[in-house]
Amino acid sequence: MSNILCTIHVRVRHCIALLTHVQSTFNTLVLDDGFVKRPTGPGLGIEVDEGYVRERSQDEVNWYNPVWHHDDGRLAEW
């Protein structure tokens, strides 16, 4: 399940770090023939561990996207 969550997230590196803790809360995402079924619960259909969110909010995170350049200095795409 973690693979599909990381593929839909731009910041995969941070996604993987977070998923080590929150994987079990995504048990409402059910795969059916390669598609994720829509959660039936209220809101996002997941439970948020508010204590963990508060704890992680104290961490300093570099949210800026990396900028890559070719050897000749031209801007490189992702």
Q: Tens digits of per-residue pLDDT, 29-76?
A: 677 888 877 767 677 666 777 888 888 788 777 767 788 899 999 999
* DSSP letter string, 35-54: EEPPP-SSTTS----HHHHH
Contacts of 14 (CB under 8 A, 6+ apart): 61
pLDDT score of 1: 47
pTM of the entire structure?
0.34
Instruction: Quickly tell me which residue has 């693979």 as its tokens.
Output: 3
Q: Would you state the pLDDT for residue 13?
A: 56
